[in-house]
Amino acid sequence: MKSITQIISFAVLCGLLISCNKDERQAKNSIEGMWEVTAITTTKGQINNAFFVETSTETETGQLGTFDFLDETVNYNFTRIDTTYNGSSIWFLKSEKINAGFTRVNQHTLTLTDNFIFDVTFEDDTKNAEKNAKKMTLTKNPIPNNSILIMISLEKIE
């Protein structure tokens, strides 16, 4: 009886690992390519008792720049509130399942080695939204010494 339980547990664990790897691979495949920055929302606020309290929001729209994700590097050039950000960086994508109420959902984190860390949302953030995505949002969450939330909306060009 013990061995049957162990076999079932092992099969479930393998299935979860394969599923996570598949989601991460689909997300990585979707990210690769040229993306146009179509909107940037900057929200200023304060962090009080681990909660972010908004004080002001500014949204810019139009052709604000590009991100070109190659196999291991990204070239970016975008303008946010009259400041231009450009550079080239190595990028890493991490995908994991997290609890969201009664279900588990994918959470994708994109790290650019020059100090940008973004939460990534593909399309409408539904199941398998990372597969062949044409829209994504990069969110840079506020930290205690820099209480600014930045959301960059992108659309795939190629």
Chain segment 77-106, per-residue pLDDT in tens? 999 999 999 999 999 999 888 887 887 778
Q: What is the mean pLDDT of residues 30-45?
A: 95
Distance in angstroms (rounded) separating the CA atoms of residues 20 and 12: 12
pLDDT band at 14 (very low <50, low <70, confident <90, very high): very low
- Name the pTM for this structure: 0.80
By residue range, what is the domain housing residue 6? Answer: 2-156
Asked if 48 and 55 count as a contact pair (C-beta separation under 8 A), the reply is: no
pLDDT band at 29 (very low <50, low <70, confident <90, very high): confident
Cβ contacts of 122-131, under 8 Å, gap ≥ 24: 122/27, 122/30, 128/23, 128/26, 130/23, 130/26, 130/27, 130/30, 130/95, 130/106, 131/26, 131/30
Instruction: Return the pLDDT at 51.
Output: 80
Number of domains in the chain: 1
Residue 16 has phi, psi (to 5 degrees) of -65, -40
Whole-number average pLDDT of the chain: 83
Does 5 or 47 have the greater pLDDT score? 47
The pLDDT tens digits for 128-158 are 667 788 999 999 988 777 789 999 999 999 7
